[in-house]
C-alpha cells in the first residue's frame, strides 16, 4: 500500500504513521525526520533547511522532491510506504504523481488528519521535540503557511478519488481506529 498521511503541524502524523507502520507492516518515510537528521548531522542540506525552518517557511519544492525521490529508491519501499510530510505543495504532489505513473504504481490512500488550529497550537507548544520554531509566533506562521501553501494539495487529491478525511481529535488510539477502518477498506 502507498499512503500519504497529511495534515498541519501538530496533527499527529508522525505518531499515527508509526502505528500504521507497525499494524500494516509498511515503512514510513518522514521528510521531517530526514530534515531533522540532516540538521543534527550539520550536512549542507541540514544547514540550508535549518535557516528555512527557523523562519517558519517551507523547504523549496525541488529540494524536497529530490530528497524524497532519492529515498524512495531504497529497496525497502518497493512494496509500499507511508509518506509523512510529503507532498506539501501542489508542485510536489504533481512531481510525486509523475513518479507513480513512471513506475506503474498508484496511490492507495490520502489520509488527511483534521484538527482545529487552537488544538494544534496547544499540541505543538506542549510537545517535547525542542524545535527552534516551536514558539507561539513561529507556530502561528507555520499554520498560516500550511493553510496558504499546503491546503490546496487537498483539492489535488480530492480530484484523484483517494482523499479520506480523518477526525484528528481524541486519543491516539481513537484516531488510529478511524485510520484502520479506512485502510482496511482500501486494501
Neighbours of 162 (CB within 10 A): 17
Residues 36-46: tens digit of each pLDDT: 888 888 888 78
Residue 61 belongs to domain with CATH number: 3.40.50.300
E strands present in the chain = 2-6, 28-30, 81-84, 109-114, 163-167
Q: What is the per-residue pLDDT across 122-141, written as a single tens digit (0 to 9) for each?
A: 988 887 565 666 788 888 88
Element (H, E) at 47: helix 44-54
Lowest mean pLDDT: which of 19-28, 48-57, 136-145? 48-57
Q: How many domains does the chain have?
A: 1
104: pLDDT strictly greater than 80: yes
Its pTM stands at: 0.85
- For the annotated catalytic residues, the residue numbers are 13, 88, 127, 131, 142
Q: How far is CA 27 from CA 3, 4, 11, 78, in A?
A: 10, 12, 20, 10
Name the nearest CA neighbour of 150 among 75, 80, 88. Answer: 88
Domain that holds residue 133: 2-186
- Retrieve residue 11's grid coordinates: 496533527
Amino acid at each position: 500500500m502507498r499512503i500519504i498521511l497529511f495534515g498541519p503541524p501538530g496533527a499527529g502524523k508522525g505518531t499515527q504513521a508509526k502505528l500504521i507502520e507497525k499494524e500494516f507492516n509498511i515503512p514510513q518515510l518522514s521528510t521531517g525526520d530526514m530534515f531533522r537528521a540532516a540538521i543534527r548531522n550539520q550536512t549542507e542540506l541540514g544547514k540550508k533547511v535549518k535557516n528555512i525552518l527557523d523562519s517558519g517557511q517551507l523547504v523549496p519544492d525541488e529540494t524536497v522532491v529530490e530528497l524524497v525521490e532519492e529515498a524512495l529508491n531504497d529497496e525497502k519501499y518497493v512494496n509500499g510506504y507511508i509518506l509523512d510530510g510529503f507532498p506539501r505543495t501542489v508542485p510536489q504532489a504533481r512531481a510525486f504523481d509523475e513518479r507513480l505513473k513512471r513506475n506503474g504504481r498508484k496511490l492507495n490512500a490520502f489520509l488527511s488528519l483534521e484538527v482545529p488550529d487552537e488544538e494544534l497550537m496547544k499540541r505543538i507548544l506542549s510537545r517535547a521535540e525542542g524545535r527552534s520554531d516551536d514558539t507561539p509566533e513561529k507556530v502561528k506562521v507555520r499554520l498560516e503557511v500550511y493553510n496558504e501553501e499546503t491546503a490546496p494539495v487537498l483539492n489535488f487529491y480530492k480530484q484523484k478519488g483517494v482523499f479520506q478525511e480523518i477526525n484528528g481529535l481524541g486519543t491516539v488510539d481513537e484516531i488510529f481506529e478511524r485510520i484502520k477502518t479506512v485502510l482496511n477498506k482500501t486494501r
